[in-house]
Amino acid sequence: MTMESYSLRHIFWFLVLATGRCETSSDSEVVLKMDEALLTIQNQMSYGLYVVYTSDYCYKCLYQPLASMEEAPGNVSVVVSTPFTLTLQVSSVNGSGILCGLSHLFEEAGHYSLWVKPGEAGLTYNVTCVISVDKFPNSTYLPLLVLTLVLVLLVVLWAFVPFGSRCSCTSKLIHCICCHGSQYTIKTEEATSADCMDRDKPKSSRLKSLDTLRGFSLTVMVFVNYGGGGYWFFQHAPWNGLTVADIVMPWFVFIIGTSVTLAFSSMRRKGVSRLQLLRKLTWRTVVLVLIGFCFINYSPRDGLLSWSWLRIPGVLQRLAFTYFVLSLMQTLSPHQDVPPKQTYWWSPVQDVLLYWPQWFFILLLEAVWLCVTFLLPVPNCPTGYLGAGGIGDYGLYPNCTGGAAAYVDRWILGDNIFWYPTCKAMYHTTQPFDPEGILGTINSVVMGFIGMQAGKILLFFRKRNNSITIRFVVWAIILGILAAILSKCTRDEGFIPVNKNLWSLSYVACMGCMSFALLGVMYFVVDIKGWWGGQPFIYPGMNSIFVYVGHSLLGFYFPFSWEMRFQDSHWEKLIQSLWGTALWLLVAYLLYRKRFFLKI
């Protein structure tokens, strides 16, 4: 869920961040924007030059034209992108080969010169390329550092308020002990202690850590959907690899699985029949699909509805289908209640063995994903291709973006899929690819089932906090090792690279490891030790549908966002992203105070 609520604004930022706009111009005419720098190519040779570039983040990509200089000597200025290191190659216009090359990480708003000079004694075959700084760049990460320190200060103040309240209770107690008689003191001590205990007493039996994790994920999702301050690592990765935006939706899917296990177990204990459960899960699935399809996928700003461009897949549609499959599995499972506490040789893994039909179904689903992904023949593409296509892989497979996943979507859904994938800007792809496509939904169900396993652990080992914590750690280690093996601990060279667009098996294993670790930490801190009440994330966590739909529909309207005036740095963009996120935290808090919770 970042969830993949793509918009024209996000597409624009990908176009800027991934490859930059390489425009030829003079220094006086250039107006640099965020994540852009000016490069002036100073040709001191006696012939014209041709300069090409590629981003080091782009895997095995063809070089792209940057500048062409017919006159010599002379100079030309181009705008280049700054998020990733660029590799430049200089050759002569007469095609005599590469003269020189270098890699450089340009910085925001900096002015640079690339000097192409002849070698010693004017030898034209010994060319030197040197980059100099004409104007020092901005400090790209200064806004992030300053606002992070401000947020840390606010967190410290937030934590100090309840601590001061507890100190107030303690001071009253000491005052009573010191200033009154023993009989009165005991009575007052009991009353004061009871007052303090009542103040700290939890008011709900809900698993606070789960609501906190849901709210934390939702807060990060709102922040990255509002632009993430324009920083590339708060946007989705162009293809393989992970950024902050890529880790949010799997957390939601994991939480769905955990919530399904806990909620359906509770309803079964209350005597709710399977037929009633089927009605409930069907109704919720239909509502989620309609919300995603009618409200998030389309808005009045898009004009008249046209089936020719309407996108069928979507974030809420995928979450709805995942919820439906997981709920159906839990409803039809023969083991509805926690078994009696009897010790058997298989007791340490009873939460797995007792649900072997579910495991068989999930393994069958994963086998389907593996077979279709690596064995399905795709016309004019290598079987098992997982690349981005376009100019990637040396341009050998330009129309093979996503391999079998995209082929299945086009075969079933036609052109009603996403035409602006995250790889489009950097890899110059021309084919549509939907990150919420059919094949990836299989692994979304697998991710949700991993979350169901966390719910079973919480049920089977209730009130045995050490056992719960140990099992969370064990599952995190197992999934982490699986992800490391499949990816070879690299971004692009693994057996199955970690890829959010494809929802690859290594991606699911990696996100499952992270989810178990994060939920385990929050469970220990929030539910076991009570060191933290989950604020402020627990508020949106208990009203997630309202916040998600609200921020998606109102994200472009004031006061959540406004037209930026200062687009040459990250300051205003970051402030806007944080402001919009903070407003939704405030809205969630006010709804929490009013006891208003939107449920489906």
pLDDT in tens, 246-297: 999 999 999 999 999 998 888 888 888 888 889 999 999 999 988 887 776 6
Count up the domains in the chain and report the number: 3
Is a pLDDT exceeding 70 seen at residue 301? Answer: no
Same domain flag for 285 and 176: no
Task: Give the model's confidence band at 535: pLDDT under 50 very low, under 70 low, under 90 confident, else very high.
Answer: confident
91-95, 383-387, 484-488, 580-584: range with lowest mean pLDDT: 91-95
- Residue 198 is predicted with a pLDDT of 40
Flag whether 7 is in a domain. Answer: no
Same domain, 498 and 531: yes
Look at residue 92 and tell me whether its pLDDT is greater than 50. Answer: yes
Amino acid 298: pLDDT: 58
The pLDDT, as a whole number, for residue 24 is 47
* Same domain (yes/no): 216, 187: no
Mean pLDDT score of the chain, rounded to an integer?
Answer: 82
- Joined together, the tokens standing for residue 376 give 């399905």
Q: Note whether residue 105 is domain-resident.
A: yes
Q: Determine, yes or no, domain membership for 113.
A: yes
The edge-to-edge listing of strands for the beta sheet with 86-92 is 64-69, 49-55, 86-92, 98-104
Kindly tell me the burial class for residue 194, based on how many C-beta atoms sit within 10 Å of its own C-beta (0-12, 13-18, 19 or more): exposed
Per-residue pLDDT averaged across 331-341, rounded? Answer: 67
Q: Which of these three, 87, 110, 135, is where a domain ends?
A: 135
Structure tokens at 187: 């009575």
Asked if residue 468 lies in contact with residue 523, where contact means CB atoms within 8 angstroms, the answer is: yes
Based on the domain organization, do 186 and 256 belong to the same domain? no
Top-confidence residue, 338 or 484: 484
Confidence check: pLDDT of 156 > 90: no
- The answer on pLDDT for 416 being more than 60 is yes
41 plus 176 within the same structural domain: no
Identify whether 345 is part of a domain: no
User: pTM above 0.75?
Assistant: yes
Residue 200, pLDDT score: 44
Packing angle, helices 465-487 and 438-460, rounded to 10: 150
Q: What is the average per-residue pLDDT within 405-430?
A: 89
Residue-wise pLDDT tens digits, 167-199: 555 455 445 444 444 443 323 333 333 344 344
Q: Please check whether residues 225 and 190 belong to one and the same domain.
A: no
For 498-521, what is the mean pLDDT? Answer: 95
b/e sequence 447-461, b meaning 16+ C-beta within 10 Å: bbbbbbbbbbbbbbb
Same domain, 65 and 188: no
pLDDT (0 to 100) of residue 459: 86
- pLDDT band, residue 160 (cuts 50/70/90): confident
Minimum mean pLDDT among 91-100, 200-209, 305-314, 370-379: which range?
200-209
Q: Which of 82, 113, 135 is the last residue of a domain?
A: 135
**Does a structural domain hold residue 6?**
no
Burial class (CB in 10 A: 0-12, 13-18, 19+), 152: exposed
pLDDT value of residue 354: 80
Do 91 and 149 have their domain in common? no
Within a domain: residue 565?
A: yes
- Structural domain range at position 128: 19-135
Is the pLDDT assigned to residue 98 strictly greater than 70?
yes
Shared-domain flag, residues 318 and 357: yes
For residue 341, being part of any structural domain is answered with no
**Which contiguous run of DSSP H or E holds residue 154?**
helix 142-179
Mean pLDDT to the nearest integer, 24-30: 53
Q: What is the pLDDT of residues 105-127, one digit of tens each?
A: 999 889 999 998 887 655 556 78
Residue 407 has pLDDT above 90, yes or no: yes
Q: Which of 135, 154, 182 marks a domain boundary?
A: 135
Q: Specify whether 421 is located in the same domain as 276.
A: yes
Residue 93 forms part of a structural domain: yes
pLDDT in the model for residue 193: 35
Q: 462 and 577 share a domain?
A: yes
Specify whether 236 is catalytic: yes
Write the pLDDT tens digit of every residue in 207-220. 889 999 999 999 99
Catalytic residue among 10, 111, 236, 428: 236
**What percent of the chain stands above pLDDT 70?**
82
Are 524 and 399 within one domain?
Answer: yes
Give the CATH number of the domain where residue 125 resides.
2.60.40
